[in-house]
Amino acid sequence: MIEFQHVSFAYEKGREVIRDLSFRIGDGESVGLIGANGAGKSTVMKLMLGLVSGEGKILVDGEELTKQNLSLIRRKLGFVLQNSDNQMFMPTVYEDMMFAPLNYMLSREEAEKRVDAVLGRLGLQELKYRHNHRISGGEKRMAAIATVLAMEPEMILMDEPSSALDPYNRRLVINAIRELGQTKLISSHDLDMILDTCDRVILLSGGEIAADGPAEEILRDRALLESHHLELPLRLADK
Amino acid sequence: MNKMEKALHELSEMDDLAALSSPIHRLHPAAKLITTILYIVVTVSFDKYDLGGLFPMLLWPVLLFQLSGIPVRTCFYKLRIVLPLVMAVGLFNPFFDRAAMLTLGGVAVSGGVVSMLTLMLKGVFCLMASFLLMATTPIDSLCAALRRLHVPGTLVTLLLLTYRYVGVMTEELAVMTDAYHLRAPGQKGIHVSAWGSFLGQLLLRSMDRAQELYGSMLLRGYHDHFHYAPIRAFAARDGIFTIACALCFALLRFVNVGQLLGGLVMR
Ligand SMILES: Nc1ncnc2c1ncn2[C@@H]1O[C@H](COP(=O)(O)OP(=O)(O)OP(=O)(O)O)[C@@H](O)[C@H]1O
Ligand SMILES: [Mg+2]
């Protein structure tokens, strides 16, 4: 469970990018976070992870996010960064995937088992021993998703998971996301993917909530979407 | 590929070299680390005119090149940027120290020339030794070995991250140079007027990335130390290698092998 209570945040003084934001995501929910470029989607995620801190309260499982419990709370959250280049820092995909499980005191054998399972599920066995800076942008994205799945977090935050992916891999990721039982928060401009993976949608605009409701409802509202630089998902536009 | 990407590529090739298999690669990282440090200390300790004594020290790198299967060419190719700098160190000695020291085939050689050559050789030898260490030992095992030797974790992490961040910086530099050249076709290098902003941007971008990378480490449970892949225990052969090397270095340092051999041949 994640809850925002009147959260505001500014990167630079006087220019608030998140304004008095309040919402609540219950256990097991999958929520799509949508909005125009610069609406504040990535910032909301950074706030949740304590990568930046603003005014107001952020609660994870009823506990307020503070400096003291930061590492405990982070353990529950898995985050796929918008830019995978900044996520992968070990030389090979394999080592990167092992990183979190090892930090969480798994033995090497257990960690490796987990890594192999995730790679198998995403069909990425071939990437295992590849060097991170020698794989393509899309492969890197898949690998970054894999590193987070290997953490087996309680909640998963994904910032634009489908960008840079070809249709085949995009489909793989969508399927993988659907299979996850965890609470999910997914930010994306790929509204078709949001429609496929999320039950609920929060539409951000200028750091405020412009709409919050069932995905089927909001993603069908052409006027609402278009007034926020977005378009109907292709799947719904056909009809 | 632009120059930066090439540099990056070369850096990653070091990892590839280190992943090869040979008797040297299979040695314990600590054994290699200790012998390399010993080698460097002994090499540097030679007197500045002791060219003849220093020369046999070449044996060790040559032996390692042979045993590890790493081509000498690769070493010099990769070190081509640093080598001239190291060589330049002694360049002025001949001007300061003109007293004749020895005569070779009737030509008087001044002390300056001898000390210049000695300095250059020392530099080249030490570089070769460091290169061999890096080329036969993955950075992670090296760090694991350092930890085993009770080097503080923070220092080891610093070493590892520096090694990684060099990659990050080169990557940023590559992207930026490409972006620059795409919009400044036909220009060689980067125009002086753009240096300031270019460097500033590079620094900011590298810092941003470093920060995000660090953030993503924290998000995945990083707690002031890395979990290096376990390395095997220090075995008898590692000990033998280390001691044998140490003895050889001592021999080369304190017994004038050149003279000894010369004496044998003369007889
Ligand atoms: N490091 C930063 N320093 C200053 N301002 C920033 C920084 N990062 C983002 N911003 C600003 O904060 C606002 C929200 O940015 P954010 O990255 O959250 O948007 P977003 O919804 O994720 O957009 P996108 O869809 O483009 O990823 C933007 O106006 C942006 O210019
Ligand atoms: Mg964003």
Can you give the pLDDT at residue B177?
79
Quick check: B12 contacting A, CB < 8 Å? yes
**Mind listing the pLDDT tens digit for each residue in A14-64?**
899 999 999 999 999 999 999 999 999 999 999 998 888 899 999 999 999
Chain B residue numbers touching A134 (CB-CB < 8 A): 12
Q: Please give the helix or strand (H or E) that residue A140 lies within, else none.
A: helix A137-149
Q: How far apart are CA A196 and CA B94, in angstroms?
A: 77
Chain A residue with Cα closest to B160 = A90
Contact B220 A81 (CB under 8 A): no
pLDDT tens, position by position, for chain B (267 residues)? 566 667 666 766 787 888 888 999 999 999 999 999 999 999 999 988 888 889 899 999 999 999 999 989 888 888 887 888 888 877 777 777 777 777 777 777 788 888 888 989 999 999 999 999 989 998 888 888 888 888 888 888 888 888 877 777 777 787 787 777 777 767 777 778 778 888 888 888 888 888 888 888 888 888 777 777 778 888 999 999 999 999 999 998 888 766 666 666 665
Total residue count of chain A as it appears in this document = 239
Burial class of B105 by CB neighbour count within 10 A (0 to 12, 13 to 18, 19+): exposed
Q: DSSP state, A106?
A: -
> Which value does ipTM take for this structure?
0.71
Q: Which residues of A32-63 are buried (b: 16+ CB within 10 A; e: fewer)?
A: bbbbbeebbbbbbbbbbbbbbebebebebeee
Mean pLDDT on A116-132: 90
Residue B79 CB-half CA count within 13 A:
23
Instruction: Give B253 Cα–ligand 2 centroid separation in angstroms.
Output: 62
pLDDT of residue A156: 93
Query: Which pLDDT belongs to residue A179?
Result: 85
pLDDT in tens, A168-215: 889 888 988 888 889 999 999 999 999 999 999 999 999 999 999 999
**Section A92-114 average pLDDT:** 89
- Coil vs helix vs strand at A70: helix
Predicted confidence at residue B1, as pLDDT, reads: 56
d(CA B197, CA B22): 47
Position B263 scores a pLDDT of 67
- pLDDT in the model for residue B40: 94
Using a CB–CB cutoff of 8 Å, tell me whether A100 touches chain B: yes
pLDDT of the residue at A191: 93
Q: A121: pLDDT confidence band, cut at 50, 70 and 90?
A: confident
Distance CA B54, CA B45 (A): 10
Question: Is A211 in a helix, a strand, or coil?
Answer: strand
Sign of CA dihedral A26, A27, A33, A38: positive
Q: Using alpha carbons only, how large is chain B's radius of gyration in Å?
A: 23
Task: Examine the pLDDT at A3 and tell me if it is beyond 90.
Answer: yes
CA A160 – CA A188 distance, rounded (Å) = 5
Task: Choose one of A7, A16, A17 to mutate for the ligand 1 pocket test, by most ligand atoms within 8 angstroms of C-beta.
Answer: A17
Mean pLDDT of A217-223: 93
Residue B256 CB neighbour total at 10 angstroms: 15
Q: List all residues 6 or more positions away from B148 whose beta carbon is below 8 Å from its beta carbon.
A: B30, B231
Q: What is the pLDDT of residues A135-169, one digit of tens each?
A: 888 888 889 989 999 988 999 999 999 888 899 88
Q: Whose CA is nearest to atom 18 of ligand 1?
A: A40
Q: Which residues fall within 8 angstroms of residue A119, CB to CB, at 6 or more apart?
A: A97, A125, A127, A128, A146
Q: Distance (Å, rounded) from C-alpha A215 to C-alpha A226?
A: 16
How far apart are alpha carbons A149 and A44 in whole angstroms? 21
Spatial CB neighbours of B36, under 8 Å, sequence gap ≥ 6: B129, B130, B132, B133
Residue B177: name the closest of B156, B193, B194 by CA: B194
Distance (Å) from CA A32 to ligand 2 centroid? 13
Q: Which residue of B has its CA nearest to A150?
A: B220
Query: Which residue has better confidence, B106 or A66?
Result: A66
Contacts of A146 (CB under 8 A, 6+ apart): A93, A97, A118, A119, A122, A124
- Nearest by CB to B221, from A83, A100, A134: name it: A100
The token duo for A168 is: 């085949």
- Phi and psi for B100 in degrees, rounded to 5? -65, 140
Would strands A2-12 and A55-60 be described as parallel, antiparallel, or unpaired? antiparallel
* Dihedral over alpha carbons B147, B165, A97, B150 (to 10 degrees): 0
CA distance B104 to B65: 31
pLDDT of residue A4: 95
Give pairs for B200-209: CB < 8 Å, separation 24+: B201/B176, B202/B169, B202/B172, B202/B173, B202/B176, B205/B172, B205/B176, B206/B165, B206/B168, B206/B169, B206/B172, B209/A85, B209/A86, B209/B168, B209/B172
Q: What pLDDT does B258 receive?
A: 62
Q: Give the global pTM.
A: 0.74
Under an 8 A CB cutoff, do A86 and B217 touch? no
Q: Please indicate whether, in this complex, the C-beta atoms of A89 and B164 are within 8 angstroms of each other.
A: yes
Distances (CA, A) of A5 to A54, A64, A65, A188, B10: 11, 10, 12, 23, 50
Q: Residues A89, B164: contact at Cβ < 8 Å?
A: yes
Residues from chain B that touch A71, judged by Cβ atoms under 8 A, are 218, 221, 223
B19, closest residue in chain A (CA to CA): A129
- Mention every residue, 6+ apart, whose C-beta is less than 8 A from residue B14: B78, B134, B135
CA distance B184 to B141: 43
Q: Of A137, A10, A87, whose CA–CA distance to B212 is shortest?
A: A87
CA distance B161 to chain A (A): 9
Eight-state DSSP code of residue A131 = B
What's the confidence (pLDDT) of residue B228? 79
Helix axes B192-219, B153-182, angle to 10 degrees: 140
Strands (E), chain A: 2-12, 15-25, 30-34, 55-60, 63-64, 77-80, 155-159, 183-187, 200-205, 208-214
